[in-house]
Amino acid sequence: MKRMLIFLGILIGCIIIVIVGLILATPAMDRWGTNDAEVNAVYPGDELLTNPGRVSTRAITVKAEPEKIYPWIVQTGADKSGMYSYTWLENLMGCKMAKDETIHPEWQNLKVGDLMKMCASDPAPTPYAVAEVIPNEAVIYGHQENGAWVDLWQFILVPQKDGSTRLISRTRTNMTGGIWEVIRPISFFMEQKMLSTIKTLAEK
Per-residue pLDDT of 26-43, as tens digits, reads 567 898 999 999 999 999
Rounded Cα distance between 137 and 156, Å, is 6
Q: What pLDDT, on a 0 to 100 scale, did the predictor assign at position 196?
A: 96
- Looking at the whole model, is its pTM more than 0.75? yes
Q: Which has the minimum average pLDDT: 14-18, 63-67, 118-122, 150-154?
A: 14-18
Q: Residue 13: is it exposed, middle or buried by C-beta count within 10 angstroms (0-12/13-18/19+)? A: exposed
Say if residue 24's pLDDT is above 70. no
Rounded Cα distance between 196 and 29, Å, is 15
Say if residue 47's pLDDT is above 70. yes
Percent of the chain at pLDDT > 90 equals 63
Q: Which has the minimum average pLDDT: 8-17, 46-55, 84-93, 160-169?
A: 8-17
Say if residue 57's pLDDT is above 70. yes
- SS3 of 109-145: CCCCCCEECCCCCCCCCCCEEEEEEECCCEEEEEEEE
The backbone torsions φ and ψ at residue 63, rounded to the nearest 5 degrees and listed phi first, read -80, 65
Q: What pLDDT, on a 0 to 100 scale, did the predictor assign at position 187?
A: 81
Query: Domains in the chain, ordered, with CATH?
Result: 31-203 (3.30.530.20)
Q: What pLDDT, on a 0 to 100 scale, did the predictor assign at position 3?
A: 54
Can you tell me the mean pLDDT for 148-159?
97
